[in-house]
Structure 1
Amino acid sequence: MSLWSIVSHMPPEEFSGLFAEFPRSLRCLLADWLENQPWEFINGSDAFCTSMASGMLSAMLEKLRSAASSDGQQCQILQQVSGIENAYRRDPLRLVAVLKAILEGEKAAVLKRDRHLPLSFHRRQEELKFSLGLQRLQHRVREIQALRDNPAAASRQLNVQDLQLKATETKPPESELPTLILEAVKELEVAKQQVLKRIQIWKRQQQLAGNGALFEENLAPLQKRCESLVEVYFQLHQQVMAASAELGAELLPRLLERFNEVLSSLVKSSFLVEKQPPQVLKTQTKFQASARFLLGPQLLKASAKPYMVRADMVTEKQARELALSAYSNALSESTGEIMHNVVALETNPTSGTCCANFKNVLLKKIKRCERKGSESVTEEKCAVLFSTTVALTPSNLSVHLQVLSLPIVVIVHGNQDNNAKATVLWDNAFSEIDRVPFVVAERVPWEKMCDTLNLKFMAEVQTTKGLLKEHYFFLAQKIFNDHSASLEDFQSRSVSWAQFNKEILPGRGFTFWQWFDGVLDLTKRCLKSYWSDRLIIGFISKQYVCKLLSTEPDGTFLLRFSDSEIGGVTIAHVIRGKDGSSQVENIQPFSAKDLSIRSLGDRIRDLGQLRNLYPNTPKDQAFGSHYNTEEQTGKDGRGYVSTAIKMTVESERDQQAQRAVGGPPEAPQAQMLSLPVLQPELHPESLRSVLSPICPPGPFCPQPLPTGYPTGENINMMVSDNLGSSFPSTSPVLSPSLVMDPTLPRCQDLAFRNPLPFMPNQYMTEASSEPQDEEMPELAPFTSMVDPPLQSSPRWMAPSMDLPPSSDFEQFLQEVSLEGPALCPPFTPPLQRSGYPSPNPSCWGLGESRWDDSVRPGHA
């Protein structure tokens, strides 16, 4: 974005007085071209500055005449062009001063309004400054050459100001030639610093790209800048060596020392990690990386044996020692065993690059350091050190090159990945340029944290719709555990690393980052299109949802991320209570596993009680494009009857109505699964003795589930017959006769209606094949405190499905029977997860217990 594109939309009166000597209309015609000239960096009145100003004036007049030929006001423009030529032809430096004042005034006005200038404007200005410095250096070399060839003629052309610049030296040279050389060396060192700064900026942008920031990876412009400066360096060095007699025995060594420092720092800084290793690196996992030597094509002589680059793992302490020695010392010992870690440094004549590409590297094992205090292995940072020794052309100087990768967290198990990503995210976001490896702030402003979370969210989800200030407000309340502060109060606060990913959230079993990362994963996998269409509010509390929906019509709903489950999204909707008052119900959260079975859009379509997306958009209008239109009925091409999965939600009111007429609940799946596993061949008569200690005679314990969500949520398998009719089944594992013969009587005994066979591995948590070592106790906190977020139904199925011995099971039934029939209404299934409140049907209206996200949706 150009400066003029912003200025042109601002009131002209803000720039009154700026265009007294240069018409605003011509500024508009020149627009971007004017900003691409180094007006602001031409300082002084020497021959170089005068020459540059004269050339820029000629280019501007030509540009204006070309624009006038295609403009309707040609005469007026040509008159203005003629006036500028007459005013500034004899004094082009005056034009430079006028345009510099105009640009400074425009920048000040934009800064006053927006508090910042476009990043592209800063980048362009930096490029102009370096380009002008390089041209000045080339001009200096020509002046030195001319002074050596014809001292008398060159002396008359030198500006007096040039001869006075050395007045601050303790021992000024006795002739003009040493003065010119010293000034040229100064300008060379300034240009070198610009190159080094640009390299550091590139490295910092590469690190921010690890969090999702935009990054211009192309190193070609930076390589061209390095090569141009080194070319001028050799030209200037040649002139110094040729004038060694005039420089004297005292000045020459000092100049050569400064020259060597310039070349050494340029060469060492131009050795970069172009492709970074993974910042979360698992042992026994292959990875790729590449190191690039920007000056390689220019400085490396052809040798019979190629130079080899080695990759070694180093600790934070080792990295710090290498940085303090300016990477001049060789590594004493690698902290990990890396295989295939030596490759050739090869120059590609076609692309003009010199790279060492590591394509098949394997970190076999890692040697851990002593950790400080409560620091875990996922907070320990290390890096890959790439190193080689090369001989430069033409001096044949041997130089040792070393460069560190970005910080890496090494893990040995997938369960450590979440916490390792938190360490990397924090380091990438809040580290400083030229820091001591790998020091990073322990506390950062909340505003910076908001920017980081937004950047990460948009990059992971691959969306252009970021977080809003309302989302930041909810996240601030969550991470600071403060529901009384205002949005403005949070903006002045700082957040610590401990609050981010060490301290467990109050009443939960996980940290803020673990919860946020679960939201990221769910949205990325299942909700990207819904979020991009702004159909999900997401980051909003239950209490605020209740406030929003309490005055809305029946059937109004919204979507939010679960507070108490990692990686869950729930639907909050308005229903009408028995007394006619509005009540807000929250359907139990859906995980990524649930939404892979049936999409969120189709689940919303299934639920007739959902009518309008908050505030007042009909659900078919909002979600119509997300419905699955491929569901078929009738028989398919192979003669099979088509099936479709449908979701239903059974509210407390529906259950009460069913109990009133003595009918069974429609979806008894969860209640059934809390009993011993039943085989299909069991008949109702054989179950009486088993069920009697738990339930009194009558319907099968038709009480609500012990959660704060509407109960009975299930996914029914709809099976269509040839006539297009369908009937629900609570389990897809049914005998063909039960499905296909509608003449069979429907059994009223729910245990018989749901004959689920015992399949030991169907719901068993998959055993990890990942290696275990001494670090395994340091898993993410939530892995041992709450159930895995993607655990599939049935709701009360334990990770292990092995049946207890018969004697133990009989003892369990005897203990339960001691309480008698009174246990049935508040009965809690024996495999209920810990940490959730007991059922309290009276609180399912607007009470506190209904706010607890507990039971995951069950699936058929």
Structure 2
Amino acid sequence: MSQWKQVQQLEVKFLEQVDYFYDDNFPMEIRQVLAAWIESQDWDTASNHESMATVLFSNLLTQLERQCLQEQNFLQRHNLKRIHQQLQVKYKTNPLHMASVISNCLREERRIIATASVQEQGPLEKSMQNSAAFERQKNMDNRVAVIRSSVQMMDQAVKYLEDMQDDFDFRFKTLQSRDPAERNTMYVKQEVTTLQEMLNQLDFKRKEILSKMVDVIKEIDALMNAQLSPELMDWKRRQQIACIGGPLLTGLDQLQNWFTLTAQSLFQIKRQLDKLGELILKVTYDGDPITQQKPQMEEQVKYLIYHLIKSSFVVEKQPCMPTHPQKPLIIKTQVQFTTKVRLLVKLPEVDYQLKVKTTFDKDLPPGRVNRQFFILTNNTKVMDVEESSNGCLSVEFRHLQLKERKYINGTKGNEGPLTVTEELHSLSFEAQFCMQGLNIDLETCSLPLVVISNVSQLPGGWASVMWYNLLTDEPKNLAFFSSPLRASWSQLSEVLSWQFSTFAGRGLNREQLNMLGDKLLGQQASHNDCQVSWSRFCKENIPGKPFSFWMWLDSILELIKKHLLPIWIDGYIMGFVSKETERALLKEKEPGTFLLRFSESHLGGITFTWVEQAENGEAKFNSVEPYTKSRLSALPFADIIRDYKVIADGIVPENPLKFLYPDIPKDEAFGKHYNSQQRKAFPYIPSVLIPISTFPIATPPPSSSPEPPMTPGMFDMLNQHLSPFDIETAMSSPYSD
């Protein structure tokens, strides 16, 4: 079943989540009409390769044009044409962004499908989708709008005050210019009285404006502390969870809108205070409220601007190697990686003015890590305006590269208790913001990074990234693995399911997670309250095995991704099931019923077990030796199931696999995945690679007669089907995994 069909069968509460991220990212109409084509493209890779993204963007437009021509419904055809034009405008100059958007949408669909299959959201999922979030955002929108309106009205009040003061100033200077001899006349006395009334009114108006300014400044201060900063921290936490496979990260554009409107209000108040400062140069008096209050208010406004701008400098895209787009925060030495920084305050006055410098392990205390690195490539770029998006100010470093620092004595630094993949590093970004006489040093940093020098260290590095971002939101806790926190099984199982939905297109259901819980923690009625240590998850070997739990699970993920993906997505691999449960499931089934599960004794192996009826009427179970990546590289797994044969006691080979558990005919389940391509071998006789298992031939008792020789007919039959160069022999029974 296609992914989009699975989405359409979800319950309403899950469909609402799908609707939410498509509204903000990509037209759902295109997802609907081009579902099969979209799912057949490699958007993950394209999101990090501009040439591939450009080709896919062009192909997408072509596919959409064809759909428009075929569409019979006038209104639908009109909508598709409109969307075609919108896509051209939005992504023509940045096809990478489009590829990234579609990749994220497909990933989010897989995660929601996985969540729905479990029937219960995990703790992280619930925390990322708080029902009160929508109300908070509405309240935030209203509050920012009220502040903005109040500041605009103060502009009018300051202008009115300026006009009042100009009128007073003119009449006062006119009176001063009159002949001293006329000062005691009735007219002059009336003018003095009028000027006094005007001054009283001017004083009242100044106090009124300053009082309103104080109220607005207090409101902005409260907004920043009580809502804006928590919303930013919430986004940063959601970014951490998204990095390890969690819900799609949205909301940055909304944050930028709030930050920008708040900054505009603060800078406008600063200009209003500057204007009031100009007014007192012309007219001031004893007890002038502007003279008394303005210095303190200016300091408060500068303080708020300083903290707002400082906090608006964020890492929009965490460091990531293009070769592993779904595993950010792992960097391999001398391999290019990308990262992106954004300023959430959008002000035209600072466009193209901010130069960002990036530094690796800035101010890292000596002895904190065993290895030290430096950036090999250009580490300085100017922030640019993204015309294709919402006009945000950002800079993307696409060609950064690390190199390990060599030491004179040949060592690599102090030896410590941490492994290479437990050492955490940081990438820092610096810039200087200058506007209206304010100079603000900006600095932000990435989430902690793991630096590897060999691809074999990637699984361990990813385990560290998952564990860190699952358990802490401290961005600078680089000593985390000196004393790593424990994870609850309810947290960890949710993240493990995300790994399968992200990397393999289908998450884990409750039964599969229970088996993993038993594997890691032992059999229990419930694992949710159990605590898992970092060492048990990743460092200690499974009892009786030469590998850890995570290495075993990661090898299965790799096997699925490279050799079993279509069958896994279809849900035909039960995968994580114990031998005891396997036999209980198959015991009452028809002979020839089989199921697929992952090997518990091999790294990255899959086996199948089928049930037969023994002579005494009892169920007999047979398991084939696990197929690993080396064997599956030569023959697709679906073809193995189709062609599998068993030879026992010289009997003609037969395929014992009839029904996929519970009762799906084998060809119905796997038929669409068979390799149907016909090889042209003329003038040679075609050959077929057939996987077989050989049951051991029992030694006949002494009294029995010798086995009769193979007849020529039987020899010709076997010779026709089996070639010594094409037979893949795999010992089956009595194999036990």
**TM-score, normalization by structure 2:** 0.64
Matched ranges for 1:246-285 at <5 A: 246-247=288-289, 251-278=293-320, 279-285=329-335
Match 1:566 to one of 588, 599, 603: 603
Task: Specify whether residues 141 and 284 from structure 1 end up closer, same or farther in structure 2 by C-alpha distance, changes over 3 A only.
Answer: closer
Q: Which residue of 2 aligns with 1:181?
A: 213
Residue 376 (structure 2) pairs with residue 339 (structure 1): yes
Q: Which residue of 2 aligns with 1:598?
A: 635
More displaced 10-residue stretch of structure 1: 551-560 or 220-229: 220-229
Task: Specify whether residues 296 and 335 from structure 1 end up closer, same or farther in structure 2 by C-alpha distance, changes over 3 A only.
Answer: farther
Residue 613 (structure 2) pairs with residue 613 (structure 1): no
Task: Specify whether residues 519 and 349 from structure 1 end up closer, same or farther in structure 2 by C-alpha distance, changes over 3 A only.
Answer: closer
Q: Which residue of 1 aligns with 2:426?
A: 383
Cα drift, residue 382 of structure 1: 0.4
What is the Cα-based RMSD across aligned positions, in Å? Answer: 4.0
State how far apart, in whole Å, the 2-side matches of 1:143 and 1:346 are. Answer: 33
Q: Which residue of 1 aligns with 2:135?
A: 125
**TM-score, normalization by structure 1:** 0.56
Residue 540 (structure 2) pairs with residue 497 (structure 1): no
Kindly provide the amino acid, as one letter, of the partner of residue 534 in structure 2.
Answer: W
Kindly provide the amino acid, as one letter, of the partner of residue 221 in structure 2.
Answer: E
Q: Are the counterparts in 2 of residues 340 and 360 from structure 1 also a CA contact under 8 Å?
A: yes
SS at match of 1:388: strand
Match 2:723 to one of 729, 742, 745: 729
Q: Which has the higher helix share?
A: 2
Q: Are the counterparts in 2 of residues 320 and 437 from structure 1 also a CA contact under 8 Å?
A: no
Q: Are the counterparts in 2 of residues 316 and 437 from structure 1 also a CA contact under 8 Å?
A: no
More displaced 10-residue stretch of structure 1: 215-224 or 537-546: 215-224
Q: Are the counterparts in 2 of residues 272 and 403 from structure 1 also a CA contact under 8 Å?
A: yes
Kindly provide the amino acid, as one letter, of the partner of residue 649 in structure 1.
Answer: S
Kindly provide the amino acid, as one letter, of the partner of residue 132 in structure 1.
Answer: N
Task: Specify whether residues 663 and 520 from structure 1 end up closer, same or farther in structure 2 by C-alpha distance, changes over 3 A only.
Answer: farther
Task: Specify whether residues 403 and 639 from structure 1 end up closer, same or farther in structure 2 by C-alpha distance, changes over 3 A only.
Answer: same
Cα drift, residue 545 of structure 1: 1.3
Task: Specify whether residues 143 and 300 from structure 1 end up closer, same or farther in structure 2 by C-alpha distance, changes over 3 A only.
Answer: closer
Q: Are the counterparts in 1 of residues 355 and 381 from structure 2 also a CA contact under 8 Å?
A: yes
Residue 473 (structure 2) pairs with residue 432 (structure 1): yes
Match 1:295 to one of 319, 340, 345: 345
Match 2:242 to one of 200, 209, 214: 209
Task: Specify whether residues 301 and 335 from structure 1 end up closer, same or farther in structure 2 by C-alpha distance, changes over 3 A only.
Answer: same
Q: Which residue of 1 aligns with 2:70?
A: none
State how far apart, in whole Å, the 2-side matches of 1:243 and 1:281 are. Answer: 54
Q: Are the counterparts in 2 of residues 283 and 411 from structure 1 also a CA contact under 8 Å?
A: yes
State how far apart, in whole Å, the 2-side matches of 1:398 and 1:517 are. Answer: 49
Q: Which residue of 2 aligns with 1:650?
A: 694
SS at match of 1:358: strand
Match 1:445 to one of 458, 474, 488: 488
Task: Specify whether residues 254 and 319 from structure 1 end up closer, same or farther in structure 2 by C-alpha distance, changes over 3 A only.
Answer: farther
Q: Are the counterparts in 1 of residues 206 and 290 from structure 2 also a CA contact under 8 Å?
A: no
SS at match of 1:281: strand
Cα drift, residue 437 of structure 1: 5.0
SS at match of 1:514: helix
Cα drift, residue 121 of structure 1: 5.2
SS at match of 2:627: coil
Task: Specify whether residues 376 and 433 from structure 1 end up closer, same or farther in structure 2 by C-alpha distance, changes over 3 A only.
Answer: closer
Matched ranges for 1:394-433 at <5 A: 394-395=436-437, 397-432=438-473
Matched ranges for 1:122-201 at <5 A: 122-142=132-152, 144-145=154-155, 175-193=207-225, 194-201=227-234
SS at match of 1:491: coil
Q: Are the counterparts in 1 of residues 424 and 478 from structure 2 also a CA contact under 8 Å?
A: no
Task: Specify whether residues 344 and 509 from structure 1 end up closer, same or farther in structure 2 by C-alpha distance, changes over 3 A only.
Answer: same
Q: Are the counterparts in 2 of residues 343 and 356 from structure 1 also a CA contact under 8 Å?
A: no
Q: Are the counterparts in 2 of residues 573 and 584 from structure 1 also a CA contact under 8 Å?
A: yes
State how far apart, in whole Å, the 2-side matches of 1:320 and 1:145 are. Answer: 56
Cα drift, residue 378 of structure 1: 0.9
Q: Are the counterparts in 1 of residues 694 and 729 from structure 2 also a CA contact under 8 Å?
A: no
Matched ranges for 1:317-328 at <5 A: 317=364
**1:420-462 deviations in Å (ceiling 9; x for gaps):** 1110111222222667456486112211111111111100112
Cα drift, residue 523 of structure 1: 1.3
Between the two structures, name the one with larger relative contact order (CA 8 Å, sep ≥ 6): 2
Q: Which residue of 1 aligns with 2:107?
A: none
Matched ranges for 1:629-648 at <5 A: 629-631=676-678, 636=680, 638-648=682-692
State how far apart, in whole Å, the 2-side matches of 1:557 and 1:571 are. Answer: 7
- Give 1 or 2 for the bigger CA radius of gyration: 1
Q: Are the counterparts in 2 of residues 341 and 358 from structure 1 also a CA contact under 8 Å?
A: no
- 5+ residue gaps, structure 1, are 10-113, 155-172, 322-333, 667-720, 734-792, 796-838, 854-860
Q: Which residue of 2 aligns with 1:526?
A: 563
- 5+ residue gaps, structure 2, are 1-11, 17-122, 165-204, 281-287, 321-328, 407-411, 645-654, 711-715
State how far apart, in whole Å, the 2-side matches of 1:336 and 1:658 are. Answer: 72
Task: Specify whether residues 665 and 209 from structure 1 end up closer, same or farther in structure 2 by C-alpha distance, changes over 3 A only.
Answer: farther
Q: Are the counterparts in 1 of residues 351 and 384 from structure 2 also a CA contact under 8 Å?
A: no
More displaced 10-residue stretch of structure 1: 417-426 or 225-234: 225-234
Kindly provide the amino acid, as one letter, of the partner of residue 664 in structure 2.
Answer: T
Q: Are the counterparts in 1 of residues 356 and 383 from structure 2 also a CA contact under 8 Å?
A: no
**1:287-313 deviations in Å (ceiling 9; x for gaps):** 2223223336534277xxx65322221
Cα drift, residue 236 of structure 1: 1.8
Q: Are the counterparts in 1 of residues 659 and 665 from structure 2 also a CA contact under 8 Å?
A: yes
Q: Are the counterparts in 1 of residues 505 and 569 from structure 2 also a CA contact under 8 Å?
A: no
SS at match of 2:512: helix
Kindly provide the amino acid, as one letter, of the partner of residue 396 in structure 2.
Answer: N
Cα drift, residue 730 of structure 1: 2.2
Q: Which residue of 2 aligns with 1:361?
A: 400
Residue 549 (structure 2) pairs with residue 512 (structure 1): yes
**1:50-102 deviations in Å (ceiling 9; x for gaps):** xxxxxxxxxxxxxxxxxxxxxxxxxxxxxxxxxxxxxxxxxxxxxxxxxxxxx
State how far apart, in whole Å, the 2-side matches of 1:655 and 1:529 are. Answer: 40
State how far apart, in whole Å, the 1-side matches of 2:708 and 2:692 are. Answer: 16
Task: Specify whether residues 658 and 727 from structure 1 end up closer, same or farther in structure 2 by C-alpha distance, changes over 3 A only.
Answer: farther
Task: Specify whether residues 145 and 283 from structure 1 end up closer, same or farther in structure 2 by C-alpha distance, changes over 3 A only.
Answer: closer
SS at match of 1:597: coil
SS at match of 1:399: strand
Kindly provide the amino acid, as one letter, of the partner of residue 222 in structure 2.
Answer: V
State how far apart, in whole Å, the 2-side matches of 1:312 and 1:498 are. Answer: 32
Kindly provide the amino acid, as one letter, of the partner of residue 148 in structure 2.
Answer: Q
Kindly provide the amino acid, as one letter, of the partner of residue 363 in structure 1.
Answer: L
Q: Are the counterparts in 2 of residues 271 and 401 from structure 1 also a CA contact under 8 Å?
A: yes
Cα drift, residue 226 of structure 1: 2.2
Q: Are the counterparts in 1 of residues 689 and 726 from structure 2 also a CA contact under 8 Å?
A: no
Task: Specify whether residues 350 and 432 from structure 1 end up closer, same or farther in structure 2 by C-alpha distance, changes over 3 A only.
Answer: closer
Q: Are the counterparts in 2 of residues 315 and 382 from structure 1 also a CA contact under 8 Å?
A: no
Task: Specify whether residues 657 and 459 from structure 1 end up closer, same or farther in structure 2 by C-alpha distance, changes over 3 A only.
Answer: farther
Task: Specify whether residues 125 and 239 from structure 1 end up closer, same or farther in structure 2 by C-alpha distance, changes over 3 A only.
Answer: same
